[in-house]
Structures are given as C-alpha cells and as structure tokens.
Amino acid sequence: MTLKLPFSLIVFISSYFPLMLILAIKDYDFAKCGFKNPTLVVLIFGLTAISCITTLIAARSVKDGNLVNLTKVSNKSTDMFTYTIPYMLSFYKFDLTDLNMVLSLGVFMGLMFILSYRTQSVFVNPVLAIAGYGLYDCQFKDGTQDRQGLVLSKTELEVGGTCRVQQLSTFLYFATTKI
C-alpha cells in the first residue's frame, strides 16, 4: 500500500511553501515596489500555497480508523527538520531570472520528490509540524496483530495510550483521535 501519486505530490509541494515564500521575498525589488519575475513568483508561490491549504484540509478531514493500543512510542518530530537542507538554497545567490538556476531547482525538487515518494516520507513535512502535527515511531496492537510504523498525530502519543489510526501507506499512519 502506498499513497496515491497525485496526493503525494500535493503534500510534497506543500512542504516547500516556506521556501517559496523566502524565494518570493528575495525576488521582490523594494526600489521598484514589485517582483522582478512576477509571473514565476505567482506561479510557484500560488502552487505551493494551494498545495499547503489542500494538505492541511486533508489532514483535518481524516476521520475514524482502527482502535490501537500503543506499546512503544518514540518522538521523531525532529526528523521534520530534514527538509531544512533545501532551504539553504535561499541563502545563496538565487536569481529567478536565471533559467539555468530555475531548471536546476526543478531537477533538484524532482529528485527530492522521487526520493520522498519512494521512501513514503512525504508526510515528513514542516508545514504539518507548524500546524501542530508530531511524528512518532510507534509499535501498537491492532486487534491481535502487532504493528510498527510512523504515526502523525496532532496530540502527543504515549506508551499505554489508546488512539485511532488510519493507515496511509505500508508503514505510515495518521492518528485521528486519542482516547
């Protein structure tokens, strides 16, 4: 079981909303009170903003799930900082008028997406962290079966706790409610 490609792409794009905001600010010409590349800025900023809103709405809409008992919980929320590496781009001279630089960014982002899709880590997303979601490595009892996976949760998960989880992919779950 893996996340559907279009949804994974939307979640991936949303994770770079803060980076695109930084790049838009860098493209702004304060002397002329406008963007140097308004079409490109509107396109990439708009795409990431729409993806961000869609991801947050989708995260809030996940309901129900299997009732599980947590037997082991490890907070992995700091793993959401792995997205900071591409943010380093914003501190180098990055010019949206340089076609080679824009195409290079596109190739880099494409490779990042392929890696995050293949590893099913698209939910390791700083936008979800900003919205209050934590990432936990959990072992839990689902009925009579022992399972292990990463769980996204808006509430802190604890050993011995009970929650409902919705499976998103083979080892990725979303906690819908904590009981």
Q: Can you give the residue ranges of every domain in the chain? A: 5-178
Rg (CA), the chain: 19
The whole-number pLDDT of residue 143 equals: 85
The average pLDDT across 126-151 equals: 90
pLDDT band (50, 70, 90) for residue 86: low
Antiparallel, parallel or unpaired: β 172-178 and 145-153: parallel
Concatenated DSSP letters of 85-106: HHHGGGGS---TT-HHHHHHHH
Give, in order, the Cα–Cα distances in Å from 157 to each of 126, 129, 137, 170.
Answer: 19, 15, 10, 20
178 contacts 157 by C-beta, under 8 angstroms? yes
pTM exceeds 0.75, yes or no: yes
Output the average pLDDT for the chain: 85
Comparing 115 with 120, the larger pLDDT belongs to: 115
Range of weakest confidence among 33-47, 85-99, 118-132: 85-99
Containing 124, the helix (H) or strand (E) segment is none
Of the ranges 12-26, 81-95, 115-129, the best mean pLDDT one: 12-26
The whole-number pLDDT of residue 82 equals: 61
The average pLDDT across 61-81 equals: 84
Residue 57 has pLDDT above 90, yes or no: yes
Residue 144 has pLDDT above 50, yes or no: yes
30: which DSSP letter? T
Max CA pair span of the chain? 66
The whole-number pLDDT of residue 90 equals: 59
pLDDT band (50, 70, 90) for residue 2: low
